Structures are given as structure tokens and as C-alpha cells.
Amino acid sequence: MLKAIFSRWLVALVVCLLLAAVTWLVYAFGGTASSYTHLYYIPIILAGFCLGDIGGSVTGLAAAALSGWIAYTGRGPHPVVGQDVVLDIFVRSTLFYVIGVLTARLSAILGERGEESATLFSASHAVSQSLRMEEILPTIVRMAAEITEGRASVIRLLDREGDELRSAASWGLSQNYLAKGPVRLSESAVDQETERGEVVTVREMRRDPRFSRYREEANAEGLVACICVPLQRGGRFLGVLRVYADYPRHWTRRDQRLLRALAGVAAVGIENAQLHESLRRSYWETVRALNRAIEAKDPQVLGHSERVTDYALMMGQQLGLSPDEMETLRFAATLHDIGKIAVEEQLMRASNPQAYRDALERNHPLVGMSILQPAEFLRPALSAVRYHHEHYDGSGYPEGLKGEAIPLQARILTVANGYDQLTSPTAGVPPLSPSSTLAELQRQAGGAFDPRVVRALAAALGLSPEQKGRVENPGPRIPETFARSPQGTPES
């Protein structure tokens, strides 16, 4: 702020010095009839660009007054006399004033367009950096409110049924207002106009007959005016961008132009994110189908990977993993035992099945990694699959990694594996209650398990090892079994 004020004062000083210098040149060498008077345009244009309407008009009038003074006194080498003096002063004052004001207005327009371009560039950059709507849309709604100096903003997307507009991102709105009730196209005249591709501006919502619902909620939130802009892509209506004001407001053409451009950027990001989400869903469904086909060979482990996935994601949220890390953890948890498909096939040809099982069991993480390696989208999950049987104290396999050297996602899978193995019924071994299982995991924290991950599991389940008695398992209740060793350590 101080820097801006200092810069304006510096420009004002330079303008004053230029006015003085030009006045001296006109007085000393040519008078008002000389071409030297055109030099007055320099300080006028400078003031208009840097100091705005007031600076440009004041400088123009000052230049006219100085040149008029020279003409009136008749002290220049070529003085203007008689009625020509008045006419000369009037014409020169008008010309200098108009030039000052026009320069200031052009400067303001260029400044606005520059800000608009910078805003749209920032929005486009934000959209290009992510394919997740939960990352794109919050940036868009914040920008929409900031560039229009609005009180709040929200993006509502049309659901699959094609009637309800559901809040996807908001800025400046309370959760109470967002939860006020469903917003349906069939019940909202404003949204119906927006669906047709129109920008709808409302100066005062409580007096507009199109806003018949949720008026009291809007008043309680302090929302008075709004502008609604359609989100469209290829003629397809995706939703609506709304910006609110807390006073009766006339929405300018600039507001409408900016929000339309921003809505266009948002629509591109939404469509790309939806396509990406559809592709991710296809990947995920394919992975689940593959995993179920593998587990179907052994009824004892059917459902194990899905339960491990649920527990792992719960811990991942507690540990603050990013959306990309959570997706990687989901794939790794679902496919962490895929290497056992080779174990089962080779056991059928073994002369000593138990000995062969023990040997192959220790290699199934490496086998699983080699199976998944050709799939490009599964590459980030390979390390978790490879190291999910490593122990925090270094006693695990296949490489005997220790502590933080084990990838975090692999440490999460180790704990999720142990929890599911101990809480699932097996032949001849009854399951432990969740609280007893948690006590066992905490007993082994620092040994087989990462203490921080065990604490995350306790927080996710809302349990503590001090709880007495058998507690109903709050996780997925799948009746299939999964093997548990007599020592109470996970086998898969």
C-alpha cells in the first residue's frame, strides 16, 4: 500500500516538473502559436495513464491554464491578442481536458482487460494442473467471488437424473445454508433460464418472484443479489455458477463477461474431470473383478482384500494422505495378495505342499509386483505391494527393511492386514474383538507394526485397547474366513 502511494506521488511530481519545463519552453521560444505547445501532451498522457481520471483531467486543465496565461499576458515572442485569446484558451482547455480523460479511461480499460486476462490465465492454469473436481472447483468459486467483489459463490452440478443441482464447491457460504434443501430445475425459474444458456442477474432476491424458495435462508445468510451463469460444454448443460452480493446490486457487463469466461474454463475442467473419473472407475472395477476371481479359488480369503482396503483407506485419511496417495493405496490394498495366484498354482504340483507354501509365501510380494508392473496406471502401487510384509523392526520380508525405510503405504497395509486377520473367523480359531485386536496391535507396535499407523487405526475406528468385552466389529462384516497363524501374526 505504501509503495503504491509513494509511486503515485512520484508520478505527480514528475508531471509537475514536465508541466513547468514545457511552460518555460513555450514562453521562452515560441509562444502559444508555436508547435512547442504540443509538448503539453506528454505530462497529460502520463497523468492519465498513471493517476486516473482526476489526475488526467487536472493535468489537462493545468496545461490549458498555463498556456492560456502565456497567451493572455502576451509575453511570448508570438503573442495572441484580442478575441483570439479567449478562443485559444477555450479550445486548448477543451482539447487538453478531453485528452487527459480519454487517456485515463483507456488506461482503466487496459488495466481491467489485463486483470481479466490474468484471472482467466490463472483459472486455466489451475484447471490444467489437476483432473480432480475437488481441486479444480474450489479455485473457480473463489476466483468468481474475487473478480466480481462478491460476497459468496457456489457451483452446483446437475445430477445424473437431470433435475437436482447439487453443490460441488462453494466459497463464503455456511454449511447451514448449503444444507437448506434440494435445488431442483423443475422448481427454479432462475435455473431454468440458466439451463437455456442465459446469464440471469437478480438485483434483489427477496423481491424477485423467480426466487420463491429459500428466501428466509438467503436473508439469514445475508445474501441479497445474485448472478447465475450456465456451465455448458458442447451444448450440454453441466450446472450453474452463482455469485452472491450482500447488497442490492446491478451486475455490470464486465461481471457477466468475466463470469461467462470463467464458467467456460470451469466447464472444460469439469468435463475433463468427469471423463477422468469414468476412466478411473473403469480401472477400479476391472481391478476388483480381477481380485475377486483370484480370491474365489480359496474361500478362506474371500473378501479379505476388500476389508483390508477399507481399513487402509480409513488410516490413510487419518494420516492425511493426498487424493492421489489415497487412490494408490486403494489399488495397492486391493491387489496386495495378487502374487498368491502363482503360489496356489505351484502348490498343486508340489511333493511337500506345506514346505513349498512356506517358501512361496515369502516370495508372493515380489511375484505380485512382477505381475502388476506392465500396467502403467498401477506403477505407483508397486512399492506398497512389494513391501507390505516388511516389519517396522526389520524382521519382515522380502528385504528386511526397517522403520521409515518402509514406504508409508506398505506400513498401512501391514497394519490393515493384521487387523483383518485377527478379527476374521478361521477354522478352529475364534476371532478377537476389535478392542482386543487393537490391544494386540499396540503390543506389537514398534515390532511388526508402525506405532503411528496403529494409532491412526485406533482413531479411525474410535476404539481404545482399554475397552473391555467383545465389541462388534465396526468394519465390513463379510462372513468369509481368512487364515490366522497360532502366533497371531498375519499370514497375508
- 303-314 confidence digits (pLDDT tens): 888 899 999 999
Task: Let me know whether 349 and 264 are in one domain.
Answer: no
User: Which residue has better confidence, 140 or 1?
Assistant: 140
Domain count, the chain: 3
Say how many residues make up the chain: 492
Helices (H) and strands (E) in the chain, counts: 17, 5
Task: Let me know whether 114 and 47 are in one domain.
Answer: yes
Instruction: Determine the pLDDT at residue 146.
Output: 86
Among the candidates 124, 157, 175, a domain finishes at: 124
CA distances from 98 to 35, 57, 84, 133 (A): 19, 7, 21, 49
Q: What is the CATH number of the domain that holds 344?
A: 1.10.3210.10
How does residue 360 score in pLDDT terms, banded at 50, 70 and 90?
Answer: low
| Least confident residue range of 180-194, 216-230, 237-251, 404-418 | 180-194
Any domain includes 139: yes
How does residue 454 score in pLDDT terms, banded at 50, 70 and 90?
Answer: very high
User: Which residue has better confidence, 118 or 281?
Assistant: 281
Task: Let me know whether 404 and 315 are in one domain.
Answer: yes
Task: Let me know whether 195 and 342 are in one domain.
Answer: no
| Contact residues for 467 (Cβ-Cβ < 8 A; gap 6+) | 435
Q: How many CB atoms lie within 10 A of CB 214?
A: 17
Choose the most confident range, by mean pLDDT, from 64-73, 414-423, 464-473: 414-423
- Residue 378 to residue 380: CA distance in whole angstroms: 6
Beginning with the edge strand found earlier in the chain, give each strand of the sheet holding 165-171 in spatial order: 165-171, 152-158, 236-245, 225-233, 200-202
pTM of the model: 0.57
Instruction: Determine the pLDDT at residue 471.
Output: 38
**Segment 326-346, tens digit of pLDDT:** 989 998 998 888 887 766 555
In sequence order, what DSSP letters do the residues of 232-301 get, joined into one string?
EETTEEEEEEEEEESS--PPPHHHHHHHHHHHHHHHHHHHHHHHHHHHHHHHHHHHHHHHHHHHTT-GGG
| Least confident residue range of 20-24, 77-81, 330-334, 364-368 | 77-81
**Segment 230-246, tens digit of pLDDT:** 999 888 899 999 999 99
What is the enclosing helix (H) or strand (E) of 12?
Answer: helix 2-25
- Residue 319 to residue 32: CA distance in whole angstroms: 78
Mean pLDDT for all residues in the chain: 79
Q: For the chain, give the percent of residues with pLDDT over 90.
A: 22
Please give the residue range of the domain that contains residue 54.
Answer: 2-124
CA distances from 26 to 62, 75, 77, 92, 470 (A): 14, 11, 9, 14, 101
